[in-house]
Chain A
Amino acid sequence: MDNPARDLFPGALEMMILESLRRQPAHGYALVQHIQQRSNNLLQVEEGSLYPALQRLLKARLVKAEWGVSSTNRRVRTYQITASGQRHLEQQISSFERMFEGITLVLNPGKSPAS
């Protein structure tokens, strides 16, 4: 019933959002586009599932939002990563890498993880 992105592991969607926002601020629609493109459409998420995650990040002050006008002259709410968002993302990424390393070791015994 829940959306697939949440099924990956807790925090995965938030991490992807933060990573996208670190590259450049964006509004919700653009974020969805960006994540889907970057993942080669592997992550077929419902577009709307992004919003609960964005609200969680907003609440935790990891991102901030502002209404503005986009380059295509649309009224948009643009999200921006905050300083604590940056720190949080770095921590998440390093712990994710450690986890990924561990999973890889288990799945491919004998091979060293791609470095």
Chain B
Amino acid sequence: MNWIPDIFRRRKLLDDLSEEIRLHIEERAEQLIGEGMSPAEAQRQARLAFGNRTVLEERSREVWQWTGLESALGDVRFALRQLRRSPTFTVAAVGTLALAIGANAVVFGVLNALILRPLNVPDAQSLYTLERGGYKDQATSYPDYVDLRDRNRSFEALTAYILTQVALDTGRNPSEVWGYEVAGNYFDAMKIQPYLGRFFHVADEHGPNSAPYLVLSYAYWHSHFQDDRSVVGRVVQVNKHPYTVVGVTPPEFNGTLLFFYPDFFLPMVNKEDGPTFLDARGEHDIFMVLGHLKAGVTTAQAIGDLNSVGSYLEKTYPKDDAYMTYSLARPSLVGDMLGPGVKGFMTGMMLLAGLILLAACANLGSLFAARAADRSREVALRLALGSSRKRILRGIFTEAVLISLAGGALGLLGSVALLRELSVWHPIPQYPMHVAVYADAKVYLVALLLALASGFLFGAVPVRQILHTNPYEVVKAGSTGIIAGNTGRRVTLRDLLLVVQIAICAVLVTSSLVAVRGLVRSMHSNFGFDAQNAMLVDTTLGMAGYSGDRVPAMQRRMIDALQTIPGVQSVGFVSQIPLGGGGSTEDVFASQTTDLKPGNAAANVQVYKISPEYFHAAGTTLVTGRNLSWQDDRNAPLVAVVNGFFARRIFGSASNAIGGYYKREDGTRVQVVGVVEDGKYYQLTEDPRPAMFLPFLQSPTGMTTLVVRSERDPQQLAGAIRDKLRGMDDSLPMFIQTWAEGLNIALFTPRVATVALGVLGGMGAMLSITGIFGLAAYSVSKRLRELGIRIALGARRKEVLETALGRPLKLLAFGSAAGLVLGLLAAKVLAFIVYQATPRDPLVLGGVVLAMLVLGLVATWIPAQRALSADPLLLLREE
């Protein structure tokens, strides 16, 4: 442990050393003088004989240093001094990198939360959800689920759940909350232990409505019961039925979907319309069936096992079951419903973010190269004084790494804040949508690695330059000489970097323009209804205790009541609003089909149950035939209005369809009386789908979304609607919003995509500005003298500008063209996410060209001014 006292003695040791060396040279000189040399010559000879004093002293000092760290610290101190001397460069570099690394950290944070991080349940790696048939359908009927659960040999336990919304009355104001209806074995299959109280189990279930137990989520218990532990055992009202709260889930368990946090869990055997649900093999009401694979069972084995159960079901229940082949997927993003899309999108975003970082590195690389060129005299001098090239390179890399670490830290800070914002963001207020995207260790690590990697990447750009510095030439030539080499005709590394950077930025600008265009178009495309000037009122009568004949009676009363509100043009209702995030489908058959098994279906169509005025209230155009009327009730023949696609698919044309018959799943024959325009039903990007609209008096439904068309102010109207409905039944839960707000769900993905791409595009644009500006400003400042001479010799403004900025602008054009082509290729990928995102759009093409042009102008404006104002006299005098 000798080095401990050495540290304290070091100051003295080093002073001793310097003194000793001084004395050594003195002694030698004195001796030489004694031999008859002149004092000056003796001094010179003594120093020559000694060798390079600085280097030798440094090497002697190194002996005492804690070598690696201390010389690194020295490098850091030196680099900090260098950076402080050029604050503009430092701020620009750190800022650029902070943006780029921040963008990467945010994208990676989301990617990590959505894709890399498994569900928060034990053994999430072996947890799979079942998907049926070629459409990867998750939905299953309860009897099929029971058969699958009991007949498979591959899963530890198969469980199931349904997303549901209920009116929960805990003694105060009843409120609508979202939760899961689960199979009795849900908690046991997920291996979750209660935080408080107990969970319900299979043994608690004895047929329909036998288990009125409610489990609360920790978050709901925390926010609505203020952590009151006495809640266990309390009786609450769920849709006006008494349920006993038995337990609370642990805080880290948020159900088995990544983005939808349930507030409660209740047994699905207690579904109110109990018997039909538990026995109806054809009703695919279960949202998801999932379970852990047994240890040692491969997915292929499990699929084989499930398929054999499936073929048994197909044979045994030919009327209800078809296409019973299975595949497995991860439950967190509803399997293949969202999984591949989210994965594809996030991968694309990660790639784009990576491109941003690359562009930033190219940017900083050329800045560094320019800086190294500016400092070539200093470098040459240091080399001449005996510094090693390694030492100088180490200095450059230290600077690069310092900048990258500072940028990384700043970027990470910003991204952590942004991710926190994202986690508390509720994009769609009526659903408990929620993505826990917080920055964990993985995000920090990725940001650090990216920062270091980019530091080395852009730090490496000037390496060649420094290795090839010839100190003698540089010192001899002075500051003007070296520049000649860099402004020659040949393509330099810096030019290449700029082209790459601009190409990348053009890709980003192109993609974001394509996305924005697509979004704008999708907002103005034909949905099959008019969302302007319409309010939606969601009420589920079942939650308020309505059943049987009271449902249609109440629905009619609500319509009548709302129609009396002044300013209301029309009121109608629909079972589920199109593009509202839900919807149900049904198989239909040609009227002559007798064997109504799924395989014989003519089409699978969207089913909407509506009141007569719905089309009017929704702004849906009737193409031909008649509208539904109040006379289409239980005593009248069964009728339907279908959309154009349905009419063409089954009857050949809209006019043929009028008066034609088709069969529904239950065998009833329905006559088509009208045809309405096609619309969008599930999502904006879907292909045309058939849809049928049935009169609610013939096909009753408890699900009621009232559509109120009025040009009144939405806020006032909402108040009036609420007053009216509360006056009829004050326990009726309702959710009122404008239809435009209701479209948030459908527009959510394209909006997120557009915003994300827009931000990246903006960053790309900014980077290209700084890149072009950097090069232009540099080339002008280096050639200011030459420009001055040209002006003195009578060059016109145009010629001066050509000389000064021709090269950066040429590079800009070249990079933009390359980027545009690449961007258009990349935009094809966007078409999957953004509706009508087509790259073959003159507006997009023109927009990109214009954008890059404007960027070029903005970036070269200041350097151009400077070039034009070059005053030959002033410049020549400086020499």
Contacts and interface: CB of A to CB of B under 8 A. Distances in A.
Given A56-B63, A59-B64, A48 B27 contact: no
B273 interface: no
B63 A46 contact: no
A58 to B, nearest CB: 8
10 contacts: A28-B20, A29-B24, A46-B50, A47-B49, A49-B56, A52-B56, A52-B63, A59-B64, A76-B23, A77-B20
Interface in A21-64: 27-29, 32, 46-49, 51-52, 54-56, 58-59, 61
Given A3-B51, A47-B28, A59-B64, A52 B6 contact: no
B2 interface: yes
A60 B50 CA distance: 24
Contact of A55 (B17, B23, B24, B49): B17
Nearest to B62: A52
Given A52-B59, A55-B17, A28 B51 contact: no
A48 B21 contact: yes
A22 to B, nearest CB: 21
B53 interface: yes
Contacts of B20: 27-28, 51, 77
Q: Which 5 A-B pairs have the closest CB atoms?
A: A46-B51, A48-B56, A55-B63, A48-B51, A48-B50
A87 interface: no
A47 B56 CA distance: 10
Interface string A11-29: 0000000000000000111
B52 interface: yes
A93 interface: no
A76 B60 CA distance: 18
Nearest to A51: B60
A49 B53 CA distance: 9
B67 to A, nearest CB: 12
Interface in B18-59: 19-21, 23-24, 27-28, 49-53, 56-57, 59
Contacts of B57: 51
A111 interface: no
B6 A47 contact: no
A74 B52 CA distance: 24
B28 A52 contact: no
B16 interface: yes
Contacts of B56: 46, 48-49, 51-52
B300 to A, nearest CB: 63
Contacts of A88: none
Contacts of A77: 16, 19-20, 23
B680 to A, nearest CB: 75
A76 B24 CA distance: 9
Interface of A: 1, 3, 27-29, 32, 46-49, 51-52, 54-56, 58-59, 61, 65, 67, 74-77
Interface string B52-79: 1100110111111000000000000000
Given A51-B57, A75-B23, A59 B16 contact: no
A96 B27 CA distance: 33
A52 B53 CA distance: 11
Nearest to A75: B23
Nearest to A57: B63
Count chain B CB atoms within 10 A of each CB in A55, A56, A59 and give the residue with the most: A55
Contacts of B6: 59
A55 B56 CA distance: 11
A74 B23 contact: yes
Interface of B: 2, 6, 13, 16-17, 19-21, 23-24, 27-28, 49-53, 56-57, 59-64, 388
Nearest to B31: A29
A54 B27 CA distance: 18
A47 B51 contact: yes
A96 B62 CA distance: 27
A29 B17 contact: no
A27 B63 CA distance: 19
A47 B24 contact: yes
Contacts of B50: 46-48
Contact of B63 (A3, A59, A65): A59
Contacts of B28: 29, 47
Count chain A CB atoms within 10 A of each CB in B24, B61, B62 and give the residue with the most: B24
B2 A61 contact: yes
B52 A48 contact: yes
Contacts of A58: 13, 63
Contacts of B64: 55, 59
Contacts of A29: 23-24, 27-28
B58 to A, nearest CB: 9
Count chain B CB atoms within 10 A of each CB in A32, A47, A67 and give the residue with the most: A47
Contact of A48 (B16, B53, B61, B388): B53
A27 B17 CA distance: 12
A36 to B, nearest CB: 10
Contacts of B23: 29, 74-77
Contacts of B17: 51, 55
Contacts of A61: 2
A22 B262 CA distance: 86
Contacts of A54: 60
Nearest to A30: B27
Count chain A CB atoms within 10 A of each CB in B17, B49, B62 and give the residue with the most: B17
Contacts of A49: 51, 56
B31 to A, nearest CB: 9
A47 B494 CA distance: 45
Count chain B CB atoms within 10 A of each CB in A46, A51, A54, A75 and give the residue with the most: A51
B537 to A, nearest CB: 86
Contacts of A76: 23
Contacts of B24: 28-29, 32, 47-48
Nearest to B19: A77
B311 to A, nearest CB: 80
Given A28-B21, A48-B53, A59-B6, 8 more contacts: A29-B28, A47-B49, A51-B56, A55-B17, A58-B13, A74-B27, A75-B23, A77-B20
Nearest to B55: A48
Nearest to B20: A77
Contacts of A28: 20-21, 24
A56 B388 CA distance: 21
Nearest to A74: B27
A21 to B, nearest CB: 15
Contacts of B19: 77
Nearest to A56: B63
Contacts of A32: 24
Contacts of B63: 52, 55-56, 58-59
A7 to B, nearest CB: 14
Given A29-B27, A74-B27, A51 B16 contact: no
A59 B49 CA distance: 26
Nearest to B388: A1
Nearest to B61: A55
Contacts of A48: 21, 24, 50-53, 56
A115 to B, nearest CB: 37
Contacts of A74: 23, 27
Contact of B60 (A1, A3, A52, A75): A52
A65 B19 CA distance: 13
Given A28-B20, A75-B23, A77-B20, A46 B60 contact: no
A61 B1 CA distance: 12
A67 B20 CA distance: 9
A105 B64 CA distance: 39
Contacts of B13: 58
Contacts of B52: 46, 48
B831 to A, nearest CB: 62
Contacts of B60: 51-52, 54-55
Contacts of B27: 29, 74
Nearest to A54: B60
B612 to A, nearest CB: 97
B12 to A, nearest CB: 11
Contacts of B62: 52
